[in-house]
Structure 1
Amino acid sequence: MPEESPAQRLRLAFEMYDFGVRMQRARIRRTRPGATEAEIEEAVQDWLLSRPGAPLGDALGRPSTRFA
């Protein structure tokens, strides 16, 4: 199998991100069957902002102060 280009790896990372968000949305729909689409989207956004690692930029180590 040939080496993937940086563009291909980035595309794959975006696809994996999208897949994860779709899976979370499906989980929320299962656990909240009466929720409206707006409520589901709000729950997805809340999850994106509060899941482990999110407050620190999803990276290990010290938070950067470059953009603070």
Structure 2
Amino acid sequence: MAAADPTRLAENLRLAFELHDAGVALMRQNLRRRLPEASETEIDERLADWLRERPGAELGDAEGRPVPWPRRAP
């Protein structure tokens, strides 16, 4: 297998961070719409809870059965 291009790997990682930040910003907006009377502190707490719990994705975002990580070599 050919070695991965470090520039491309760095770009992919940067993109993953940007997507994470966008998802957090969207959830913050969602919480503000659902809880218009909530303080900024309460929104921050609920956002932190959401990041820890991930309702609907407790075992990750992928389909299939959970497996131990790191996987053992076959």
Bigger helix share: 1
Q: Provide the C-alpha distance between the structure 2 equivalents of 1:23 and 1:59, rounded to a whole number of angstroms.
A: 17
How big is the shift at 1:64?
3.1
Aligned equivalent of 2:15: 12
Aligned equivalent of 1:31: 34
How big is the shift at 1:62?
1.7
Q: Provide the C-alpha distance between the structure 2 equivalents of 1:42 and 1:63, rounded to a whole number of angstroms.
A: 30
Task: Give CA-to-partner distance per residue, 1:24-59, whole Å, 9 cap, x none.
Answer: 000000000011110000000000111133x55x36
Q: Provide the C-alpha distance between the structure 1 equivalents of 2:50 and 2:36, rounded to a whole number of angstroms.
A: 18
**Alignment coverage as a number of residue pairs:** 62
* Structure 1 runs not aligned, ≥5 long: none
Higher CA-based Rg? 2
Between the aligned residues of both structures, percent identity stands at 41
* Structure 2 runs not aligned, ≥5 long: none
